[in-house]
A and B are shown apart, each in its own frame.
Chain A
């Protein structure tokens, strides 16, 4: 599903975020990528959605070599990957319904289909009664659930969650992880980037540890070891 071969990313002048990283994530896996701040976890996510380009190596997502992907293809790639960000990245001037619908609208889906799917997805994350509110009118945990709904709405094969619990209290964080597990059970590959030890240890799934841009650990049923 995701294959990184010898990936190196250097930020000017000489900060090596990732060095010769090799990684293979199979379809349907739930993988946690852990490491301290500044070790290259977010760079990895950025490379997977082509927000950054690798300096060396090859990246394959869903059988598609995205190493040198063109500007026009980036939007196509992003429509196939669901992304959950730590800072939510919701459109503040759009309602929850419109935020989720936007991910379908950019794909050119007909309005009837959007009107049908969006309430269903918002129901999955428990926000069906708040769909006409604006992001600032709901809590942080609820905002993160909207982001998950938006990431799920076009049924992506891969869901990348970059520190999805970073801005949440433990109760909301547990809820978010539960939702991610549910999504994984339906067959979506989930890549969870986090430095939340408690969350990782509770999951008992594959854990990849990154330190100073290098993969220093890859356990099938792992724990947060740093």
Chain B
């Protein structure tokens, strides 16, 4: 008997969707629009986080060494710093490499190149470029670097970096706070819109629900088709959003790549590698809202 009822409930769901096709289409469109907003928000969040991480990743500390420092001592120092827990990577830039980089950077500025030529010698110092493992531990790294007692170190003034880092961290924190607020607001609005769309859809069945109850249908027998319809709407909504989002991502990605040149930001890759997580969660959330709205609405109209 349970199996009969179960299959009947599924049959009734599909029948109801097909026989109220316009109402079904409108409900799916509303769910799709709501999911579109969520995905738009997700894309903005991904871009903000990726940009902040990329900027953080570009931050490094330069430790300038004495001009005459022997290479073996520099390499020993490099190895010593590399062993710090808070250090991700240490790069040694020799005097020669520094001047070549300088020349390359100013290759279009003849005055600078001429001044360098007139100087007659390489004025640049060798340096160690240190990338921190976690930018939040920047202060600890500075303390560790300041503790190094080595004569070949010429300059250890890190204050400028610290100011920039504080700014970056502030921006990142504010972006996260604002993002969280906007996301919560957006998600709340989305939930309310979908919840009401489902309630309106069920409201049109108000009389029908009453009749079913009077004929002897149990509340479960009335509710179940609406619950299943809700999940089917959610599924169609997610399928529709996948069909919409992917061409859009393909269209936008080249512009993003140009805009964020130098940073590794790829929305399409992010969506591809998190496909199941993103759309699975969206399906679950949409289903949950639909099921909740169906339970409340059917419960209200089946008190006959």
Q: Interface of A with B (CB < 8 Å)?
A: 49, 51, 71-72, 75-79, 83, 85, 89-93, 102-103, 105-111, 150
Query: Which of B15, B211, B219 has the largest number of chain A CB atoms within 10 A?
Result: B211
Report A191 CB to chain B, min CB distance, Å.
16
CB distance A91 to B211 under 8 Å? Answer: yes
CB distance A106 to B218 under 8 Å? Answer: yes
Q: Which residue of A lies closest to B2 (CB)?
A: A108
**A93 contacts which chain B residues (CB < 8 A)?**
15-16, 19-20, 208
CB distance A106 to B215 under 8 Å? Answer: yes
Given A78-B213, A89-B210, A106-B218, list of 14 further CB < 8 A pairs?
A51-B304, A72-B218, A75-B213, A75-B219, A75-B221, A78-B216, A85-B214, A92-B208, A93-B15, A102-B212, A106-B216, A107-B216, A109-B4, A111-B4
Instruction: Tell me which of B5, B19, B210 contacts A108 (CB under 8 A).
Output: B5
Given the complex of chains A and B, what is the CA–CA distance between A105 and B8 in angstroms?
8
Given the complex of chains A and B, what is the CA–CA distance between A90 and B214 in angstroms?
11
**B216 contacts which chain A residues (CB < 8 A)?**
75-79, 103, 106-107
Closest 7 CB pairs of A and B: A78-B216, A108-B1, A79-B216, A106-B217, A75-B218, A93-B19, A89-B211
CB distance A150 to B208 under 8 Å? Answer: no
**A102 contacts which chain B residues (CB < 8 A)?**
212, 215, 217
Q: Would you list 10 pairs from A and B whose C-beta atoms are within 8 A, ordered by A residue?
A: A51-B214, A76-B216, A89-B214, A91-B211, A102-B215, A106-B215, A107-B216, A108-B1, A108-B4, A111-B4
Instruction: Tell me which of A91, A108, A110 contacts B212 (CB under 8 A).
Output: A91
**A109 contacts which chain B residues (CB < 8 A)?**
4
Report A48 CB to chain B, min CB distance, Å.
12
CB distance B212 to A106 under 8 Å? Answer: yes
Report B248 CB to chain A, min CB distance, Å.
36
Asked, given contacts A106-B221, A108-B4, A110-B4, whether A91 binds B213 with beta carbons under 8 Å apart, the answer is: no
Given the complex of chains A and B, what is the CA–CA distance between A119 and B67 in angstroms?
104
CB distance A78 to B215 under 8 Å? Answer: yes
Instruction: Tell me which of B2, B210, B214 contacts A83 (CB under 8 A).
Output: B214
Given the complex of chains A and B, what is the CA–CA distance between A45 and B76 in angstroms?
99
Report B12 CB to chain A, min CB distance, Å.
9
For B263-287 the 0/1 string (1 means CB < 8 A from A) is: 0000000000000000000000000
Q: Which residue of B lies closest to A150 (CB)?
A: B215
Chain B, range 176-224, C-beta contacts under 8 Å to A: 208, 210-219, 221
**A72 contacts which chain B residues (CB < 8 A)?**
218
**B217 contacts which chain A residues (CB < 8 A)?**
75, 102, 106
**B5 contacts which chain A residues (CB < 8 A)?**
105, 108
Report B87 CB to chain A, min CB distance, Å.
68
**B208 contacts which chain A residues (CB < 8 A)?**
91-93
Given the complex of chains A and B, what is the CA–CA distance between A51 and B16 in angstroms?
26
For B1-39 the 0/1 string (1 means CB < 8 A from A) is: 110110010000001100110000000000000000000
Given the complex of chains A and B, what is the CA–CA distance between A135 and B15 in angstroms?
16
**B221 contacts which chain A residues (CB < 8 A)?**
75, 106
**A77 contacts which chain B residues (CB < 8 A)?**
216
